[in-house]
């Protein structure tokens, strides 16, 4: 089992989140998405941060499509 400090490449993190690497790039530049760490100039994602992002995203209410 992987520890919370395990690092994921952007491609691996995108797979976990079921998003594209381009979405992760956009989130990084917009200051959104899971926390990112840099190893030199290379972005990486800690497993704990991916889990937290998924948990927090699941807790956020989704707006009603009819605007109610």
Each domain of the chain, given as residue ranges in start order, spans: 7-59
Alpha carbons 14 and 23: distance in angstroms, whole number: 8
pLDDT at 62: 60
Each residue of 3-54: pLDDT tens digit?
989 999 999 999 999 999 999 999 999 999 999 999 999 999 999 999 999 9
pLDDT at 58: 86
Of 54, 48, 43, 51, the closest CA to residue 21 belongs to 43
pLDDT at 61: 67
DSSP secondary structure string for all residues of 1-68: ---TT-EE-HHHHHHHHT--HHHHHHHHHHT-SS--EEETTEEEEEHHHHHHHHHHHHHSPPPPTT--
pLDDT at 63: 62
């Amino acid at each position: 089992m992987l520890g919370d400090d395990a690092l994921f490449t952007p491609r691996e993190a995108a797979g976990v989140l079921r998003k594209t690497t381009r979405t992760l790039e956009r989130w990084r530049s917009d200051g959104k998405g899971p926390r990112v760490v840099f190893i030199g100039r290379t972005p990486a994602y800690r497993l704990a941060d991916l889990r937290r992002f998924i948990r927090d995203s699941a807790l956020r209410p989704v707006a009603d499509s009819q605007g109610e």
